[in-house]
Structure 1
Amino acid sequence: MAVPLADGKSALRRQLMLGAVGAALTGGSAFAQVPAPSPSSTVGDFPNRPIRMIVTFPPGGSADAVVRLMVPRLNEKLGQPLVVDNRPGAGGNVGLALVAKTPADGYTLGLGAAGALTANASLYAQMPFDPVKDFKPVGMVAATPFVIVGHPSLPARTQRELIALAKAKPGTLSIGHGGNGTAMHLSAALFAQMADVKLVEVPYRGSGPAALDTMAGQIQLALVDLQASLQQIRAGKLIAFAVTSAQRVQMLPEVPSVAEAGLPGYDSTGWFGVVAPAGTPAPIVARLNAEINAALGDEQIKAAMRNLGAEPAPSSTDAFEAYIQSETKKWAKVIQTAHIRLD
């Protein structure tokens, strides 16, 4: 979802500080050293101090790694350091709750994902924030397609054969995923609903263990991220039936999408996007969106992201906001049909 970047000759851009600085890849504890807001801080001179990026995932995960790939470029273009503050917990709710309570001035942002920004409202009876009213979407960052894999002993080599097998033996095939309420869990539920099959879902703590148990024959299937399974797929230790994105992916060009392989309309990926507190001035949101999109257009950054199994996904703020709204409705229906709850 590419968008045109902001006009480099605008009044806002002329007033920005363009001094390049080194990358700031410190955690939350270091953020206490960031200076307090300047009384003279205005939209016109944004940013004139460091920007805090609350990442709702732990250090070392794919979302964290994707952000850190962009940090040096954003530091240079914004003229201030972007300070990464990892605040995982409750499927992203912990970190985004902090963002929702901060001043709407552009100096605290959140990197949220499909869970906290769309599905969690249906998974939890109570939320610490309103995903619609408390945030202003800034822009999508990356999408992480998943892949449906199986043990080589399965008497199926295509998605159609797999669905036929599942229908012939309802409730006997097990499918692992990355944990209850995760995007992988919901993707597996959507697959079962659209294919009209009954699978035994087995939650794991992440993609890695699910892929390993599938390879060992402990479970027959798994819906996992690409990084957790790519090596085993290429080595023939796992069968790749389909990827969950709407189109094929560069890392597995020979593997069809679920939609292409027989379930038209299926489209499910993990994704990360940046949000700001509701009420953040539109010129600041536009500035941040433009620089994020520019970073995502950098060829080195794109290649590095793809090596992590993530696909750069630049967007306009309006497109990202519309996507969040459509995904919220989509997953609410899936969750209700599958009777999934996390509390």
Structure 2
Amino acid sequence: MLHKFCALALCMAAYAAPALAQPAFPSKPVTLVVPVPPAGILDTVARMVAPSMSQTLGQQVMIENKSGAGGNIAATAVSRAAPDGYTVLVGYSMFHVGNPSMYTNLAWDPIRDFVPVGMLAVAPHVLAVHPSVPAKTLREFVDYAKANPGKLNYATSGNGSVPHVGVELFKQQNRLDISHVPYRGAGPAMLDVAAGNVQMTVATPPSILGFVQNGKVRPLAVAAKNRLAQMPDVPTAAEAGFPGFELEAWVALFAPANTPPAAVAKLTDALKIALESPQVRKSAETAGVEIRYMPPKELDSVVRKDIEYWSKVIKTANIRAD
């Protein structure tokens, strides 16, 4: 009988050993899944912080670009990944808080399927026009658009993007009749505006700055609280007489729901350290991005508030992405 008991005890110990021997997080590379192609705000910011996070975590932090379907391919993949901290979504504000209102059969939910890790940065947007548009200020543009209903078009980086939803908000606020022309990314959109094929656009500083500098587009206002260092002469929308128009895209990290709190905490700490790095801050300033660290609890609050706010704008404008 004693022999059988010993054998059973040894067997149980053998099964328990792997669980007890599990290494502390992280014991292998961490992947940041970016829902857009290389270049652009999300990819740029992710690559800014990856080296520092790698150093802090003691494991390589890799970038995987998984673009398509308005960010849904990446979000779905991460939501279904093992909740172990090794697969993290680089979330883009309008994908994360706007897609639930723009897609009828979304395979993921921003609250149910993800846990916040932390916010990295925000990018303001600039409203600009082709030089052929006879408007030197935002007020003149609004007056011109009202005098020419249905005759103007605006280009954005895609259907359901921050610029798209933001311009629809601006149209609602000012009762404008301007048609949307979506593109596959900010690059193609800017090229068509610079060529004069589309009259107006709203884009982030990295996408628009070169075109402003060579005179291909005319910036009218920055949809943010402060002016941009790269365009110090361009007023904010509030300074231009439109205080209700602020448009920022945020970038944040999210892990799959049920990821162990200890793993999330280590990711959060590594992110915070990276964002405090002078090199990262310098790179962000050059790219026209504002570093804005935000811990998980505060980020969760922002996500919930943004879902409520933007869902009203999206429904009023009847924006559908599927």
User: Fold match, TM over 0.5?
Assistant: yes
Is the contact made by 2:40 and 2:207 (CA closer than 8 Å) also made in structure 1?
Answer: no
Aligned equivalents of 1:213 and 1:39: distance in 2? 59
1:109 aligns with 2:88: yes
Deviations 1:76-103 (Å, cap 9, x if unpaired)? Answer: 1111111222211211111111211223
Relative to structure 1, is the Cα distance of residues 73 and 336 closer, same or farther in structure 2, using a 3 angstrom cutoff? same
Of the three residues 268, 289, 296, the one matched with 2:268 is 289
Q: List aligned pairs for 1:112-131, cutoff 5 A.
A: 112-131=91-110
| Corresponding position of 2:126 | 147
Aligned equivalents of 1:98 and 1:258: distance in 2? 38
Is the contact made by 1:55 and 1:85 (CA closer than 8 Å) also made in structure 2?
Answer: yes
| Corresponding position of 2:239 | 260
| Corresponding position of 1:165 | 144
Deviations 1:188-241 (Å, cap 9, x if unpaired)? Answer: 111111222111222222222222222222222111222232122123332101
Relative to structure 1, is the Cα distance of residues 288 and 342 closer, same or farther in structure 2, using a 3 angstrom cutoff? same
1:192 aligns with 2:171: yes
Is the contact made by 1:141 and 1:312 (CA closer than 8 Å) also made in structure 2?
Answer: yes
- Equivalent residues, number: 305
* Aligned partner of residue 57 in structure 1, secondary structure: coil
Relative to structure 1, is the Cα distance of residues 39 and 253 closer, same or farther in structure 2, using a 3 angstrom cutoff? farther
Q: List aligned pairs for 1:70-81, cutoff 5 A.
A: 70-81=49-60
1:182 aligns with 2:158: no
Q: What is the deviation of 1:66?
A: 1.8
Q: Which moved more, 1:150-159 or 1:256-265?
A: 256-265
| Corresponding position of 2:22 | 41
- Unaligned runs of 5+ residues in structure 2 are 1-17
Aligned equivalents of 1:294 and 1:190: distance in 2? 36
1:214 aligns with 2:193: yes
Q: What is the deviation of 1:184?
A: 1.5
Q: What is the deviation of 1:333?
A: 0.9
* TM-score after normalising by structure 2: 0.88
Q: Which moved more, 1:98-107 or 1:324-333?
A: 98-107
Deviations 1:19-76 (Å, cap 9, x if unpaired)? Answer: xxxxxxxxxxxxxxxxxx986336xx32222222222222334322321222211111
* Aligned partner of residue 246 in structure 1, secondary structure: coil
Between structures 1 and 2, the one with greater helix share: 2
* Aligned partner of residue 314 in structure 1, secondary structure: strand
Q: Which runs of 4+ in 1 moved over 4 A?
A: none
Relative to structure 1, is the Cα distance of residues 58 and 209 closer, same or farther in structure 2, using a 3 angstrom cutoff? closer
Aligned equivalents of 1:41 and 1:265: distance in 2? 52
Q: What is the deviation of 1:145?
A: 1.9
Of the three residues 314, 317, 320, the one matched with 1:335 is 314
Q: Which amino acid letter does the alignment assign opposite residue 86 of structure 1?
A: N
| Corresponding position of 2:300 | 321
Aligned equivalents of 2:85 and 2:288: distance in 1? 29
* Aligned partner of residue 206 in structure 2, secondary structure: helix
Aligned equivalents of 2:260 and 2:228: distance in 1? 36
Larger radius of gyration: 2
Q: Which moved more, 1:208-217 or 1:148-157?
A: 208-217
* Aligned partner of residue 97 in structure 1, secondary structure: helix
Is the contact made by 1:177 and 1:222 (CA closer than 8 Å) also made in structure 2?
Answer: yes
| Corresponding position of 2:184 | 205
Q: Which amino acid letter does the alignment assign opposite residue 222 of structure 1?
A: T
Aligned equivalents of 2:41 and 2:82: distance in 1? 28
The two structures, once aligned, show a CA RMSD in angstroms of: 1.9
Aligned equivalents of 1:60 and 1:156: distance in 2? 31
Q: Which amino acid letter does the alignment assign opposite residue 220 of structure 1?
A: Q
Q: Which amino acid letter does the alignment assign opposite residue 88 of structure 2?
A: L
| Corresponding position of 2:217 | 238
Is the contact made by 2:130 and 2:194 (CA closer than 8 Å) also made in structure 1?
Answer: yes
* Aligned partner of residue 313 in structure 1, secondary structure: strand
Aligned equivalents of 1:166 and 1:60: distance in 2? 32
Q: Which moved more, 1:276-285 or 1:156-165?
A: 276-285
Aligned equivalents of 1:88 and 1:312: distance in 2? 24
| Corresponding position of 2:71 | 92
* TM-score after normalising by structure 1: 0.83
* Aligned partner of residue 128 in structure 1, secondary structure: coil
Q: Which moved more, 1:285-294 or 1:57-66?
A: 57-66
Q: What is the deviation of 1:261?
A: 2.0
- Unaligned runs of 5+ residues in structure 1 are 1-36
* Aligned partner of residue 125 in structure 2, secondary structure: strand
Is the contact made by 1:246 and 1:266 (CA closer than 8 Å) also made in structure 2?
Answer: no
Aligned equivalents of 2:196 and 2:28: distance in 1? 53
Is the contact made by 2:85 and 2:259 (CA closer than 8 Å) also made in structure 1?
Answer: yes
